[in-house]
Amino acid sequence: MVQIDDAGSGSLIGGTCIGLYWPKYDIYKYDFVPLECYLPENFKLKKYQKYVVQIVSSFFKDLGIPKNEEIHLCQGYIFDVLREYLTLNGYQWKSVKIEGILQEKVEKTFADYTVELGLPQSYISYTKYPFHFHKLLRWVYADYHNRKQFCKTGWKSWQKYGNLPTKISYGSICRSGYFCLKCGKKIKAKSLIKILEFVSNKKNTIYIHQNC
């Protein structure tokens, strides 16, 4: 039995990680659907689903997976074209809820990838929903011109919230415990800060160092 799962298809930032696990041999492989597939025109054509087929077919070729090996596939829509591919090519497959080793591995792979993009490790370690859209939107707006390149710009939610007016002001914070959402370092109490404000589904206030 071979398992296939994804991580990141619901994350505003980054591509999507596709992972395969072959328990019989304890083999784990992964690759990423690139952000280019989520540009507006490519997203409309669902190129991200087609790219999944390229990834998985490459896995199968590299590992020599036989057609009589049962494939357990995550139930997500990102695998819609892959299901067609598996059927047309004579593979035995079924959609299931993926849990256990593969789920843990593919989620960690995606989390590590987003940290490489610049997402603070604290988002991953201490936030219950680290890839919640509006939490990530705050991170993007903290350094908008550099971080918008990491976004799935074909999403309707990005079309709605991806170019909001931002108010900039300056002030100070009396309390400690805040982190700059641009550089990730602590903001000292009573230090001067830059304050960014925008309204998405609610009013958002972002604190960053004055010179960040």
pLDDT in tens, 14-33: 999 999 999 999 999 999 99
- Domain CATH code at residue 22: 3.30.420
Do 18 and 102 have their domain in common? yes
Instruction: Quickly list H helices, the chain.
Output: 40-44, 47-63, 80-88, 101-117, 121-126, 133-141, 144-147, 156-161
Task: Report pLDDT for 175.
Answer: 83
d(CA 121, CA 118): 9
d(CA 202, CA 204): 6
Residue 179's H or E segment, with its range, is: strand 178-179
pLDDT band at 136 (very low <50, low <70, confident <90, very high): very high
Do 131 and 192 have their domain in common? yes
CB atoms within 10 A of CB 62: 11
pLDDT band at 125 (very low <50, low <70, confident <90, very high): confident
Do 85 and 131 have their domain in common? no
140 with 204: CB under 8 angstroms? no
Task: Report pLDDT for 130.
Answer: 75
Among candidate residues 117, 135, 155, the one where a domain is terminated:
117
- Poorest-confidence range of 11-25, 44-58, 184-198? 184-198
As a whole number, mean pLDDT of residues 88-111 equals 96
- Is the pLDDT at 170 greater than 90? The verdict is yes
Do 110 and 133 have their domain in common? no
- Is the pLDDT at 205 greater than 90? The verdict is yes
15 with 54: CB under 8 angstroms? no
Do 85 and 147 have their domain in common? no
What is the domain range of residue 203?
A: 126-209
Do 87 and 166 have their domain in common? no
- Poorest-confidence range of 2-16, 50-64, 118-132, 134-148? 118-132
Do 43 and 9 have their domain in common? yes
- The share of the chain scoring above pLDDT 70, in percent, equals 100
As a whole number, mean pLDDT of residues 32-59 equals 98
- Is the pLDDT at 202 greater than 70? The verdict is yes
Among candidate residues 94, 117, 140, the one where a domain is terminated:
117
Tell me the one-letter amino acid at 118.
G
- In Å, how far are 26, 83, 130, 145, 197 from 122, measured between CA atoms? 30, 36, 9, 22, 22
Do 15 and 113 have their domain in common? yes
As a whole number, mean pLDDT of residues 103-130 equals 89
Do 66 and 32 have their domain in common? yes
As a whole number, mean pLDDT of residues 146-172 equals 96
Do 170 and 200 have their domain in common? yes
d(CA 104, CA 26): 14
As a whole number, mean pLDDT of residues 42-48 equals 98
- Is the pLDDT at 129 greater than 80? The verdict is no
- Is the pLDDT at 174 greater than 90? The verdict is no
The total number of structural domains that make up the chain: 2
Tell me the one-letter amino acid at 20.
L
Do 106 and 203 have their domain in common? no
Do 7 and 98 have their domain in common? yes
- Choose among 135, 145, 127: nearest CA to 181: 135
pLDDT band at 128 (very low <50, low <70, confident <90, very high): low
What is the pLDDT of the chain when averaged over all its residues?
95
As a whole number, mean pLDDT of residues 155-162 equals 96
